[in-house]
């Protein structure tokens, strides 16, 4: 078997976690990432029959039976992923209708996947229904998006429109908009279920006073989605207290739809 630390998916996961920490999105052990892997991704690096141990998941997801995920660990600091990936990351395969996870690699200190693992898996199920190519779920705590949930209406249409108006690229990057949840207790199946429901209609879900969930086809796309929304929120927080003399109009956003061949979420533009 080849060294799994040399696998392209592993290198990208390590790089992404490090970038997220450097961006200030994942203080301490905040945030988590899960990447769905194909069998061909791991064939050269892992023996699928060699199970290190089995970890109960605390939920049921028959849609993910046999699926394999590279995921960050509970209580782990993103700043340490690049130093000790075999401790801070793990590869698990779901079985028994998702109720058990066979550890195939990682969590070398006896740890396990993130406490938000159920929320991640429920979001994976939802996104696969919407787009079978979605393979990543990413959760982090970008400061400006958090700040925005304290001072802006949590109405999803209003929240989305404000972000779209901050940067010309926003409606192009996330035309499906941003969904928003009120504050809920984290690490529970309840918030996982609520997030999954929101994931059916948008790839970005804001957790008020907490953070954001993003989903996408790969780590680059998902990171870019969150990065773009956070940049828009930063601009909003810089100007929210000032009179707005100019903005990106709905008419201009319709021009962007035509130019880039995208469709803004129905009912979100006048």
116 flagged as catalytic:
yes
Sequence-distant (6+) residues with CB within 8 A of 266 are: none
Taking the C-alpha atoms of residue 86 and residue 79, their distance in angstroms, rounded to an integer, is: 14
The closest of 40, 13, 10 to 219, measured between CA atoms, is 13
Three-class SS string for the chain? CCCHHHCHHHHHHHHHHHHHHHCCCCCCCCCEEEEEECHHHHCCCCCCCCCCEEEECCCCCHHHCCCEEEEEECCCCHHHCCCCHHHHEEEEEEECCCCEEEEEEECCCCCCECCCHHHHHHHHHHHHHHCCCCCEEEEECCHHHHHHHHHCCCCHHHHHHHHHHHCCCHHHHCCCCEEEECCCCCCCHHHHHHHHHHHCCCCEEEECCCEEEEEECCHHHHHHHHHHHHHHHHHHHHHCCCCCCCCCCHHHHHHHHHHHCCCCCCCCCC
Among residues 6, 49, 86, 116, which one is catalytic? 116
Q: How far apart are CA 55 and CA 95, in angstroms?
A: 10
Dist. CA 14–CA 21, nearest whole Å = 11
Catalytic residue numbers, as ranges: 116
């Amino acid at each position: 078997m080849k060294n799994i630390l040399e696998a392209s998916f592993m290198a990208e996961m390590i790089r992404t976690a490090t970038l997220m920490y450097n961006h200030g999105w994942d203080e301490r052990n905040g945030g988590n990432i899960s990447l769905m892997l194909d069998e061909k991704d791991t064939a050269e690096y892992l023996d699928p029959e060699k199970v290190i141990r089995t970890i109960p998941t605390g939920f049921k997801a028959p849609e993910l039976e046999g699926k394999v995920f590279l995921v960050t660990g509970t209580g782990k600091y993103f700043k340490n992923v690049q130093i000790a990936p075999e401790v801070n990351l793990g590869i698990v395969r779901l079985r028994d209708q998702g109720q058990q996870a066979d550890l195939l690699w990682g969590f070398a200190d006896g740890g396990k996947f993130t406490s938000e693992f159920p929320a991640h898996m429920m979001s994976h199920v939802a996104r696969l229904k919407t787009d079978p190519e979605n393979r990543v779920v990413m959760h982090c705590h970008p400061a400006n998006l958090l700040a925005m949930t304290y001072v802006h209406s949590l109405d999803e249409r209003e929240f989305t429109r404000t972000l779209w108006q901050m940067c010309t690229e926003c409606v192009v990057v996330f035309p499906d908009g941003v969904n928003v949840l009120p504050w809920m207790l984290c690490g529970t199946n309840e918030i996982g279920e609520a997030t999954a429901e929101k994931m059916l209609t948008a790839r970005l879900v804001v957790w008020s006073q907490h953070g954001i969930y993003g989903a996408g086809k790969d780590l680059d796309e998902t990171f870019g989605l969150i990065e773009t929304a956070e940049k828009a929120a930063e601009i909003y927080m810089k100007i929210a207290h000032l009179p707005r003399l100019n903005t990106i109009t709905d008419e201009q956003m319709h021009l962007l739809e035509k130019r880039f061949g995208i469709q803004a979420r129905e009912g979100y533009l006048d």
